[in-house]
Amino acid sequence: MNGQRRENIKPGCKVVIVLKKDQRSGRLTEGIVKDLLTKSLVHSHGIKVRLTNGQVGRVKQILE
């Protein structure tokens, strides 16, 4: 699943995100969602989330 729809992402989900500092390189970071920061239902670059370790980024993939 991709991370563009807010309804697909819940706290506790395991996701792959791209951090702001890694947007140019495309380096991905894996973690568990703590908070959803994007209020809109859909976002073309991915829903912004905070991971349990405090990192903030946009969801690129939701891991099953």
Is this prediction's pTM over 0.85? Answer: yes
Going from the N-terminus, what domains does the chain have, and what CATH number goes with each? Answer: 6-62 (2.30.30)
pLDDT at residue 27 greater than cutoff 90: yes
Residue 31 pLDDT: 98
Rounded to whole angstroms, the Cα distance separating 49 from 14 reads 11
Query: Percent of the chain having pLDDT more than 70?
Result: 100
pLDDT at residue 48 greater than cutoff 90: yes
pLDDT at residue 14 greater than cutoff 90: yes
Residue 5 pLDDT: 95
The answer for residues whose C-beta is within 8 angstroms of residue 3's C-beta and 6 or more apart is: 9, 15, 17, 46, 47, 58, 59, 60, 61, 62
pLDDT at residue 9 greater than cutoff 90: yes
- Residue 15's φ and ψ, nearest 5 degrees, are -135, 165
